[in-house]
Amino acid sequence: MKLTILLLTLLVFVGGCAQIQSTPIPANQEAASLCNQICKSYDKNLSNGPCLSGNNPDWTVNDWVCDVAHSLRQPVDDLPENQCSAFREGKASHFVEVDMECNLIRTV
């Protein structure tokens, strides 16, 4: 009898655990994390504020771009010619900005 109760309890416990699902990472967190990784592995000068997601096969976050900007932001960072072309052209609706040390500035 005790063995039956123990087995039923174990079955309920294991069955309950099997139904736990992982929560997907929000896109802005995924984009920020990937942008940081790409920035840290970038082997060129970041002072000209490059778009790190453009033509980068490692960039896998749809509708987002990764861009380098000044921290504190400067008016030059808002000029269209200094923003990722995918964002300017409407191919991406959101962006991650990191500074030249790869620290997150903002996600929009």
Query: Is residue 6, in this structure, part of any structural domain at all?
Result: no
pLDDT number for residue 3: 41
Flag whether 1 is in a domain: no
Does residue 40 lie within any of the structural domains?
Answer: no
Range 63-81 average pLDDT: 94
In angstroms, the first-to-last Cα distance of the chain is 60
Q: How far apart are CA 24 and CA 37, in angstroms?
A: 19
Looking at the chain, the whole-number percentage of residues with pLDDT higher than 90 is 71
Average pLDDT, the chain: 84
Q: What is the mean pLDDT of residues 3-18?
A: 42
Assess if residue 10 is contained within a domain: no
Average pLDDT over residues 2-6: 42
Task: Provide the number of structural domains found in the chain.
Answer: 1
22: left (phi over 0), alpha (psi -120 to 50) or beta: beta
Is 83's pLDDT higher than 50? Answer: yes
- What residues make up the domain containing 65? 50-108
For residue 3, tell me if it sits in a domain: no
Q: Given a cut of 70, is residue 9 above it in pLDDT?
A: no
